[in-house]
Amino acid sequence: MPRRRSISHDQLAAAALTVIDRDGLAGTSMRAVAKELGMSTMALYRYVEDRRELEGLVVELVLSAVDPERPPPGPSWRERLETMVLRMRDALAAHPEVVPLTAVHRHGSLSLLRWSETVVGLLTEGGIEGERRVIALRGMLSYVIGALQLEHLGPLSGEGTNVIASLPRDEFPGMAETAASARGVDPETEFRGGLALLLDGIESQSTG
């Protein structure tokens, strides 16, 4: 009798990530992941309790690519904060369909907790403490998740911008003009520009 196949959590997460990248969240199911692994759906439930647990493994796999170590001394604390945010952005941008899951499973991801610990240390170094530190940490995480979702679902070069640019200017003069300018903003400029505004606000709260 053949020995029962053993699957690691990393293998499960990798298979689920393949399905998510290929079919999107809407097209992902336990059945589809089991098929990717070459096993029955019931067999998959021997390794994870439900889809939520599987999604948590996927989030951890994606975020494990983020280097949680504090950037080397030299640049200012603000520049090192920017480095940490860009590390997170790069890991998540490689798998945009996983971005919404990050918000749901953020408390269970050891990699995200390690990233957050480093960010908190840098904020403390910059004199950002107490409630301001809470808001700053949450603001940076919210920015990464929100900016990547907008870029994936409605990029500035997309049809939505064209629709807004064609709005009647007598009723929406500001939006129409802004949309016309938006066509020339590439994703990198958009992300870094928004991040700079966020960091400006955080730095203004520094007591260091």
Which of 202, 66, 71, 208 shows the shortest CA–CA distance to 139? 202
Give percent of the chain above pLDDT 90: 83
Does the structural domain 67-204 have CATH classification 3.30.1330.30? no
The pTM score is 0.89
Cα angle, residue 45 at apex, residues 40 and 49 outer, rounded to 5°: 160
CATH class of 9-48: mainly alpha
Q: Are 190 and 151 in contact (CB under 8 A)?
A: yes
Residue 2 has pLDDT above 60, yes or no: no
* pLDDT over 90 (residue 5): no
Confidence bin at 74 (pLDDT 50/70/90): confident
pLDDT at 125 over 50: yes
Q: What does the alpha-carbon distance between residue 70 and residue 123 come to, in Å, rounded to a whole number?
A: 12
In the predicted model, what is the mean pLDDT of residues 62-66?
96
The pLDDT assigned to 54 comes to 96
φ, ψ of residue 200 to 5 degrees: the values are -55, -45
Distance CA 142, CA 145 (A): 5
Domain ranges of the chain: 9-48, 67-204
Residue 3 banded pLDDT, cuts 50, 70, 90? very low
User: Which of 162-166, 180-184, 193-197 is predicted most confidently?
Assistant: 193-197
